[in-house]
Chains A and B, each alone.
Chain A
Amino acid sequence: MSLYYPFHKEATTLGEIIMGLLLILLSLLIYTHSDDLPSMNESQLDAGSFPQIIAILLGILSLLLVLTKTIKLIKERQAQDESPKSIKKALIDLYQEHKLVLLILSVLFIYIVLVQVIGFIISSIAFMIVTALIIGPKTKKDIILISSIAVILTVGLYMFFQEILKVRFPTGLFF
């Protein structure tokens, strides 16, 4: 982490502020939607009241977080004597750090979509092979190893759940 130290620290604080703002947004959303819920009786708490209470608390605490972190960010900026490293370089660094995470998350999302389209077995096997090759080495030996693991595991789990637990997996459009 020391590679891009000043920016990283700032980026974390900035991220915390953004998280806080998102949470405030969520609280507002829930709070306003709670009003539309049917209410039965004036004297009791109705369906919307509990979420409303929680939303208010969450909103206040998130606001507190945003405020404290903004003050921290301003202080950090002032404390920095030297001019910040080139932002572009820092962003590239940040991207490098999280490249694999983004990649694998996208593959995971595609996999989830594909489960419905081409069925569980094919998509799972393909997903495992693709992910392993993105993360790890791409030698012939590795491809054979991960392919066999993928096939055995997928078919094994499929049989187990289908036969013993009577779970029906999505088969996709082709079957």
Chain B
Amino acid sequence: MFDLLYLGFGEIFRFDILLIIFVGVIFGVIAGLIPGFTVAMAIVLTLPLTFGMDPVTGIAAMIGVFVGGMSGGLISAALLGIPGTPSSVATTFDAYPMAKNGKPGKALSIGIWASFLSSIISLFILVTIAPQISQLALKFGPWEMFALICLALTIIASVTGESILKGLIAGLFGLLISTIGADPIMGFARFTFDLNVLRAGIPFLVVLIGMFAISRLMTSLERTERQKSFEEKQKENATEVSFVLKPIQTLKTVLRKPGTLVGSSVIGSIIGAIPGAGGSIANIIAYDQAKKWSKDPKKFGTGCEEGVVASEAGNNSTVGGDLIPTVALGIPGSAVTAVLLSALMVHGITPGPLLIVDEPGIVGGIFVAFFIASFGMLITQFIGMRYFVKVTQVPTHLLVPIILVLCVIGAFVLNNRVTDLYILFAMGVIGYLFTKFKFALAPVIIGVILGPIVEVNLRRALMTNPDWTLFLTRPISVTFLVLTVISILFTVWQTRRSNQRLKA
């Protein structure tokens, strides 16, 4: 574990990389606080810019954006009561009342410290756990990998979106998209329907840009959405806040609540590690748990310190958790880590259980970049807060065209193919329809990235031994498959129960 960190420090401690991480953090914070501009979008748009860098630098830049973005939502949540990203919904419950009670500086400072400290705690969890898991996963044969990915996909399907049925459909749709193009073992072109566009397959990143950026922008153009954002703007203009940040004093306040801080960070890390579940869920669950365990739950929602600590610690610690399966198994838990993995692939590095053994420098670099980015976030938030507040006022009519052009450039630069732009357009439309009818997008994305891996493992398993019952007789494989079935049944049962409760 320490040699990984040692290697990582060696990789990251170069002036240019440190600078790039800082720039990434600033970009992330800005992305996080503009309503309608999500962290996933920011990461997707950063990727093309990192193509010219070496892998460690590129990854470090993206981790900077990730960490910054998770904390960026705090600003608009605290000052305006509007979550800048879905991950800061619970932050508005206590940080906003606190700011309204005349302590906006305190709310922001507590939030920043909670974000920072929880990131460090989740980093600690990441560094201790990830190598163990990958050690274990090294013993996996294709049977176990196949079963594991099945489990991951069903979990994603059950935690995101409206119903597990739609989640599974979305995941299968993603798998199906991934089968277009060359078959991963023999190289036959599949499902090209004689269209040249499809011969090379559908590039993962183009799907990602289309689904996460273009479809989100289209949603923001709907009439009801525009009315909502117009009302928010009015609110923003009405509140001219002046505040004083008190870093040292509030650090003491946060440290006086070690239970809330550590508890929420652990919850955030665990939720982050579950595929599909991320900051938006952790933010609310951590807040809820802090309220349950508190001696005085009534003060939650009135602007209490624990509430701010719990919600911000909850969402920022998902970063570390999210990286656990990504680094240890090559299974991304969210769109953001999916981009990280594809960035590795662009540089010719194959993610998977072997990553820690084969590329210890990269893994150590990821850990240390996360550490540095947390510090970067702390410093930029405390120094730059005054300027960040002004950025929330970027109007939609400027944001949409700029980001659309960035999407088109990003999709083009990836392979230098104009035909990819048509795929981008199609994916944007499909993604928009999916969101419109409440199919979650995360399962599609994870399906696309895991599709080739699951297919290769399935076929390799049957090539090694044509006996398919091996999936059910190998102990680890059967455990994963049983868990897969249980996770589906459990979710179905849960929805039934809550539906009945609604009726009663």
Contact = CB atoms under 8 A, between A and B. Distances in A.
Interface of A: 1, 12, 15-16, 19, 23, 26-27, 30, 33-34, 37-38, 40, 43-51, 54-55, 57-58, 61-62, 64-65, 68, 96-101, 104-105, 108-109, 111-112, 115-116, 124, 127-129, 131-132, 135-137, 142, 145-146, 149-150, 153-154, 157, 160-161, 164-165, 167-170
B436 A15 contact: yes
A98 B425 contact: no
Given A97-B224, A132-B398, A137-B397, A44 B459 contact: yes
Nearest to A22: B433
Given A97-B224, A135-B397, A161 B413 contact: yes
Nearest to A111: B408
Contacts of A127: 401, 404-405
B244 interface: no
Interface in B192-236: 193, 214, 218, 221-224, 226
The 4 closest A-B pairs by CB, nearest first: A136-B397, A131-B401, A135-B397, A47-B183
B418 A116 contact: yes
B401 A165 contact: no
Contacts of A50: 179, 455, 458-459
Contact of A58 (B169, B396, B406, B413): B169
A38 B188 contact: yes
Contacts of A65: 165-166, 169
Given A44-B466, A100-B221, A168-B416, A115 B408 contact: yes
A44 B413 contact: no
A115 B418 contact: yes
Given A50-B459, A109-B425, 9 more contacts: A45-B458, A49-B459, A50-B455, A51-B190, A61-B168, A101-B222, A115-B412, A137-B397, A165-B51
A1 B186 contact: no
B462 A47 contact: no
Contact of B188 (A30, A47, A54, A131): A47
B202 to A, nearest CB: 13
A23 B439 CA distance: 12
B6 interface: no
A50 B146 CA distance: 12
Interface stretch (B81-89, B108-116, B170-178, B305-313): B170-178
B488 to A, nearest CB: 11
A23 B183 CA distance: 22
Given A136-B395, A169-B412, A61 B165 contact: yes
B404 A108 contact: yes
A145 to B, nearest CB: 8
Contacts of B439: 19
Given A44-B462, A50-B458, A132-B401, A104 B186 contact: no
B172 A61 contact: yes
Given A30-B191, A104-B218, A131-B401, A161 B409 contact: yes
B175 A54 contact: yes
Contacts of B49: 160
Contacts of B193: 33
A33 B191 contact: yes
28 contacts: A15-B436, A15-B437, A16-B438, A19-B437, A19-B439, A30-B176, A33-B191, A44-B459, A45-B458, A45-B462, A48-B190, A50-B455, A50-B459, A55-B176, A61-B165, A62-B169, A108-B425, A111-B408, A112-B421, A112-B424, A112-B425, A115-B418, A131-B400, A135-B397, A136-B396, A157-B409, A167-B416, A169-B412
A19 B173 CA distance: 12
Contact of A128 (B176, B405, B428, B459): B405
Given A47-B186, A50-B455, A154 B173 contact: no
Contacts of B218: 101, 104-105
Contacts of B186: 38, 40, 46-47
